[in-house]
Amino acid sequence: MTVDWQQLAQALGTITEHDSGRQEDGGTAAARLALASILGPAVWRDAVDHYVAGRPGAELSRSVLRMVRPAAAVERCLELLNDKTGAVEARRSAMELLRFIADGRSAHLVDELLQDEDPQVQVWAACMVDQLVWDDALPEGEARRLVDLCARHANEQVRERAAFVASVTEDRRARDT
């Protein structure tokens, strides 16, 4: 496989032409987008299915998905979650994976996921908030809003997770001051 790096960089918007010359950007976020693009959505969707099915190599696929966090994997997790005719364990596994691969781009999903009919999916949604806060993937106001939302939830385990996140957040703030 050969990669046309210039074309890929232009497609990702990491090259900007100015009167004074060319400006190029890189970094982890751009690298993740590049890897997601190079391998393509089918690879990421298959990796999600591989993990959810619990086939040998599932943990490796999970780790790679966590590192790259491709949008196609998030989309596949959501498809599995929205398939109410599918196996309960597949929905739960997809939610657990989503929690693990989510970044700030996925935060808007939490409100809906906390309303899922399955109490375990609700708990994994609260764990997603925990992961996003731990990763510093959210602006402080949004993190606080999501933790507060979990703290007021009807599911006791969701409230317990919110209390844990709030205590860890307070400990971090105390250490940072």
Single out the residue of 90, 152, 167, 79 nearest to residue 115, CA to CA.
152
CB 147 within 8 A of CB 129: yes
Is residue 148 pLDDT above 90, yes or no?
A: yes
Confirm whether pTM is higher than 0.85.
Answer: yes
Is residue 86 pLDDT above 90, yes or no?
A: no
Is residue 122 pLDDT above 80, yes or no?
A: yes
Single out the residue of 120, 98, 94, 123 nearest to residue 109, CA to CA.
98
Grade residue 177 by pLDDT with cuts at 50, 70 and 90.
low
Q: Who contacts 14 (Cβ-Cβ below 8 Å, separation ≥6)?
A: 24, 25, 26, 30
Q: How confident is the model over 79-102, as a mean pLDDT?
A: 94
pLDDT of residue 120: 97
Is residue 92 pLDDT above 90, yes or no?
A: yes
Alpha carbon 10 to its chain centroid, in Å, reads 25
